[in-house]
Chain A
Amino acid sequence: MGLKLDTEARRGLLLLSPTAGYALVMLAAPLVMIVTFSFWTQNYLDIDTTPTLHNYREAWSRPIYRVLMFRSLRISLIVTLATVLLAFPIAYFVSFHVRRRKALWLFLITVPFWTSYLIRVFLWKVILGFNGVLNTALLEVGLIDEPLTFILYNSNAVVLTLAHAWAPFAILPIFVALEKIDRSLLEAAEDLGDGPMRRFFRITLPLAMPGVIAATLIVLIPTMGDFITPRLVGGTEGLMIANMIQVQFSRANNAPLGAALAVSSMLIVGVISLVICLVGRKLGGRVR
């Protein structure tokens, strides 16, 4: 190779090496191992290292895993859609309609999320339960005669809880993108005859696209991997793939299968993210 590095380059590499080295050892190596693992098989405590596609075949053909995988995908997409759609107006509100105390609004928006995630999910369980806050309140007030049952222990509950949990992660990128929009562009459009609706769709939305895409990805990717929410409020109908992965690594003692499931869901998420990025570029025009 024979690269000639001057003192500056050497200093830079030296500074970067501990951090990069750590990431390499702690992330690259394990990721490689996970992928390798997914090609092995485990019988109780014995691990057979002959490479095989057995786990992947199981993951993709057995109904239970297929159901979980696609349900996870469906829930994640719904959550992402709901969260981003609900987040956009509030981000717009703070960016365009709040003059002085933007930082305060942002702070107020993020405060709820400084509770423990676990506790917050649990609170939704408390709210939506049979004897929970919502039902007892509605019963007290007299709006219903019997407690509602469709609100907990199914995928609806999961969607609601996750949409709440990821709200600020969707709001912030959209807000940042909206802030960056030069207001004089909108004034120019108004001057040239566009009404508020057209201004929004022709200027504001395309220019905010990078933020919307970021928000979408920020919500989509982690929700695929969440297992707390499905476990606490999902019941059996709301279980997601991450729960199954966790089971494989603990009770079921089938780490290679767990690895295959993890890799598969990663691939799915990766492909979808790519699609979203490409679609977003198209919708947003060539604005970087």
Chain B
Amino acid sequence: MRGASAKWLSVYAVAYMLFLYAPVVLLPLFAFNDATVVAFPLSSFTTDWFTVLWQTEALHDAVRNSLLVAVAAAVLSTVLGASAARAAARYRFPGKAPAMGFIMLPLVLPEILVAVALLVPIIQLGLSLSLWTVIAGHVLICMPFSVAILGSAFQGLDISLEEASLDLGESRRGTFRRVILPLVMPGVISSLLICFTISLDEFMIAFFLTGTDVTLPVYIWSQLRFPTKLPSIMALGTILLVLSVVLLVLAEWFRRRAARRQGLEASATGGLM
């Protein structure tokens, strides 16, 4: 595992990372490039494209809608996910495995199938498409992530801690508030952040289930047809990238801090696996 093979592997690793970052690096490059065509050679530096974004009403609406949907989806799926994860970790009852398997199913179904599957009954029932239908769809696909993250949080909860709290005279509700919740809080925050990010970036379901109010990805899709809009899309992408990175770093920081507070070791992959 030393010497020559390690050298080649390092070269490969660098080359692979270049491949990964190739498109991403272009984002800020052309976001600040003063040209309407996204191609080399570069011309001068400008922040005009960001100003254009700032002035586009439709974009602001799309951002607002996306935030609304993402927050709602994150909260709802975290609550539902926590409830299921707690049930699975703490109690024994018939039908647990198939029920859990079913809740996790959206993870292995292609998004288009989920989108189409949700569309059909909505049409049949004559319901109208709106942000609420999008939220409903997002909750469905975010729930498995929430269950996975909170599953490991609840598994790690020692049952004798709950019993100790009861033994000391605390009620069930008090035990939840004073012992369980603080201990799974890192998982809750992680779940909220991850579900938020998933919903923010989700296109397929939003595309099929959206009414007149569009979310950000659907808005971007509609703009991709217009070549002149390209550079401002680059600017938008840059902003989204920076935002996501910040959110991710925050989520990771929270997770590590909370784990350290409990004297546990925080693993590198962060419990998501």
Contacts and interface: CB of A to CB of B under 8 A. Distances in A.
Given A19-B143, A20-B103, A34-B120, A112 B24 contact: yes
B6 A16 contact: no
Contact of A249 (B41, B119, B140): B119
Contacts of B13: 89-90, 93-94
B23 A127 contact: yes
A55 B40 CA distance: 49
A57 B227 CA distance: 41
B268 A106 contact: yes
Interface in B108-143: 108-114, 116-121, 123-124, 136-137, 139-140, 143
A246 B116 CA distance: 8
A278 interface: no
B164 interface: no
Given A11-B91, A116-B240, A123-B26, A23 B102 contact: yes
B83 interface: yes
Interface residues of A, number: 89
Interface stretch (A59-67, A132-140, A151-159, A279-287): A132-140
Contact of B93 (A9, A37, A123, A124): A9
A12 B91 contact: yes
B269 A176 contact: yes
A12 to B, nearest CB: 3
B165 to A, nearest CB: 16
Contacts of A259: 116, 120
Interface string B199-218: 00101100010000000110
Contact of A16 (B23, B87, B119): B87
B100 to A, nearest CB: 8
Given A126-B26, A173-B273, A258-B116, A97 B83 contact: no
Interface residues of B, number: 86
Contacts of A172: 269, 273
A96 B5 CA distance: 12
Nearest to A186: B1
Interface in B61-118: 80-81, 83-84, 86-88, 90-96, 99, 102-103, 105-106, 108-114, 116-118
The 10 A-B residue pairs with the shortest CB-CB distance, nearest first, are A225-B110, A12-B91, A114-B244, A123-B23, A15-B87, A19-B84, A16-B87, A30-B117, A9-B93, A136-B40
Given A93-B10, A173-B273, 15 more contacts: A12-B87, A12-B90, A13-B91, A23-B103, A26-B118, A93-B12, A110-B248, A116-B216, A116-B217, A120-B24, A164-B20, A228-B203, A249-B119, A259-B120, A265-B110
Interface of A: 3, 5, 8-16, 18-20, 22-24, 26-31, 33-34, 37, 86, 89-90, 92-94, 96-97, 102-103, 106-112, 114-120, 122-124, 126-127, 131-133, 135-137, 140, 164, 167, 172-173, 175-176, 196, 217, 221-222, 224-228, 232, 242, 245-246, 249, 255, 258-259, 262, 265-266, 269
12 contacts: A13-B95, A14-B87, A19-B103, A22-B140, A26-B136, A26-B137, A27-B140, A89-B9, A93-B9, A108-B17, A123-B237, A262-B116
Interface of B: 1, 5-6, 9-10, 12-13, 16-17, 19-24, 26-27, 30, 37-41, 80-81, 83-84, 86-88, 90-96, 99, 102-103, 105-106, 108-114, 116-121, 123-124, 136-137, 139-140, 143, 147, 197, 201, 203-204, 208, 216-217, 220-221, 224, 230, 233, 236-237, 240-241, 244-245, 248, 252, 268-269, 273
